Amino acid sequence: MAAPGVVKALVLLAAISACGTDSQSLRRVPMFFDPTDRLLNPEDLQKSLPPHQDAGWSVTPEAKTWHELGRAAGAEGDYNKAIAHLTKSAGLAPRWPYPIYDRAFTYLLMKQPGKALEDYRKTLELAPRGFFTAMTAVHTLTREEAGDLPPGLYLAFMTLESVEDATQRRGILQQFVDKYPTFAPGWYKYATVQESLADRLTAIERGLAADPDPQTKGMLLLNKALVLHGAGDYGGSQALLRSVADDPQSTLATEALAKAMVALAAKQ
């Protein structure tokens, strides 16, 4: 629970396009507690950050148009058209990771993990400090390719985003962690559906012990900081947040979120 008397809405400094650009410019972003004074999950905070756009990648209006057309085609299930449009966009803005990233996911949906992995790797070449779930994708698909994880696991994991029923989602995640205990992203998602701080912390620690990719590790640590905050260990929470913010191995997203959460806690 948040400390007594905390203001419901705070204005924090957070990195612009925090998940996918090396830009250090800042903009003010509204952050909120929920109606029960619960500090929002880092995943909720991440949704409040500005979306990826050009961020110094020399994106032309035409490239953005083809990108939007590609996303629309993918949403309609016309994957071949989506690939063509996203490839066109990437050609018009070769330094922009977004169309390559979306093309990777399209290949994943087409059950072509080799091509998906190639594009996710290209995404990280363009955005080495992370871009949405690209690091998790590369880490997981590489393990699938090596036989360390079963083929199709990452695609199955990504389809969880479409499961809105809380009970069903919790049940599926329970199956994930039971069957694939070395898959850290599963523990991260599983932790977010736990109701008690003790159960959440247990899941987080299991995830941290499962060789997480940098993005998943950062999100696990941010959630651990919230568990410490919820248990009243404000000093421990702040120390952990600062360690994430100062860690050169943190992704730009988790660094920005950690700084935002430190600033938020300082207002309490």
For the chain, which domains are there?
1-52+213-268 (no CATH), 59-161 (1.25.40.10), 163-207 (no CATH)
- pLDDT of 102 higher than 50: yes
Facing residues of 10 across strands? Answer: 31
Q: Give 126-148 pLDDT, tens digit per residue.
A: 999 999 999 999 999 999 999 99
Per-chain mean pLDDT for the chain? 81
Q: Return the higher-pLDDT residue of 27 and 176.
A: 176
Range in 15-29, 114-128, 239-253 with the lowest mean pLDDT: 15-29
pTM for this model (two decimals): 0.79
Q: Give the pLDDT confidence of 14-41 residue by residue, as tens digits.
A: 222 233 333 222 222 223 333 333 444 5
Q: How far apart are CA 189 and CA 200, in angstroms?
A: 10
Residue 155, SS3? Answer: helix
Token look-up 């247990």 returns 202
Ramachandran region, residue 261 (left: φ > 0; alpha: ψ -120 to 50; beta: rest) = alpha
Least confident of 80-89, 102-111, 215-224, 256-265: 256-265
Confidence of residue 43 (pLDDT cuts 50, 70, 90): low
CA–CA separation, 244 and 146 (whole Å): 30
CB atoms within 10 A of CB 76: 10
| Tokens found for residue 250 | 């943190």
Backbone angles phi, psi at 188, to 5 degrees: -60, -50
